[in-house]
Amino acid sequence: MTDIDLKNETETEDEADDILIVGQIVSGQKDLFRLLVRRHERAVYGMGLSFFRNKEDAADFAQDVFLKAYRNLSNFEGRSRFSTWLYRIAYNTAVNMVNRRKEYLSLAEDELGEDDNHTPEKLLLKGAAREAIRKALDELPERYRVCVDLCFFYDRSYQEIEAITGFPVNTIKSHMFRAKKLLREKLEALDVDAGY
């Protein structure tokens, strides 16, 4: 069995576990909600960072998202993955907050973890490449950045991005195509070498 097969099998088991846990919570075992929070808090917090680039705001955002999810858990029908349903709540919450704040910054650098196995030179090159990518992403229109973030940083399929954002799949494909083209042009102009 390959690593990909193991990953897909684990994801399928996690999805089934999520649905089982939701059913138990709705049936009265409210304390089990902490399991869903533990399983998804890193991704929701990461989405908060991608929108707000501030750890305190991202933590407040994550708390707000989980509170909304808890209050609406009985509305989860299981027609999609629980994570897709949760990310839809997170996305709508973030968009509403951004509309109030009029800002959106993309998560081009992974603040959730660093790889310590590189030499100082490679880390410097990687940091420079990451900064160039972040700047290039920041210059994309918001609708493109959202699709890129959800696809590449949250590993969401086009169908899941549709469920989260409400953009039709063909629009998402178009946004991704245009975003990749713009990023390629911007990065070629900078002659970025990732150094790894």
Q: What is the pLDDT of residues 62-115, one digit of tens each?
A: 999 999 999 999 999 888 889 989 998 998 898 888 766 654 444 443 444 444
Phi, psi of 105 (to 5 degrees): -125, 135
Shared domain for 39 and 114, answered yes or no, is: no
Higher-pLDDT residue of 111 and 154 is: 154
Q: With beta carbons less than 8 A apart as the criterion, state whether 168 and 162 touch.
A: yes
Q: With beta carbons less than 8 A apart as the criterion, state whether 144 and 179 touch.
A: yes
**CATH code of the domain containing 81:** 1.10.1740.10
pLDDT level of residue 151 (50, 70, 90 thresholds): confident
Percent of the chain with pLDDT over 70: 79
Shared domain for 143 and 96, answered yes or no, is: no
Shared domain for 101 and 114, answered yes or no, is: no
Q: What is the pLDDT of residues 10-62, one digit of tens each?
A: 455 677 788 899 999 999 999 999 999 999 999 999 888 888 878 998 899 99
- Count: domains in the chain: 2
**Which of 44, 70, 105 is the endpoint of a domain?**
105
Q: Helix axis angle, 3-26 relative to 33-52, nearest 10°? A: 110
Phi, psi of 114 (to 5 degrees): -125, 150
**Which of 90, 105, 120 is the endpoint of a domain?**
105
Shared domain for 72 and 134, answered yes or no, is: no
**Which of 58, 90, 105 is the endpoint of a domain?**
105
Shared domain for 52 and 126, answered yes or no, is: no
Shared domain for 139 and 84, answered yes or no, is: no
Shared domain for 12 and 59, answered yes or no, is: yes
Shared domain for 87 and 167, answered yes or no, is: no
The model carries a pTM of 0.59
Q: What is the pLDDT of residues 128-150, one digit of tens each?
A: 777 777 778 778 888 888 888 88
pLDDT for res 114: 47
**CATH code of the domain containing 194:** 1.10.10.10
Shared domain for 93 and 25, answered yes or no, is: yes
pLDDT for res 113: 44
**Residue 33: C-alpha distances to residues 37, 59, 106, 164, 195 (Å):** 6, 18, 29, 21, 42
**Domain region containing 151:** 108-196
Shared domain for 87 and 16, answered yes or no, is: yes
pLDDT for res 101: 62
pLDDT for res 9: 46
Shared domain for 115 and 98, answered yes or no, is: no
Shared domain for 167 and 118, answered yes or no, is: yes
pLDDT for res 148: 86
Residues 6 or more apart whose CB falls under 8 angstroms from that of 58 comprise 45, 46, 48, 49, 51, 52
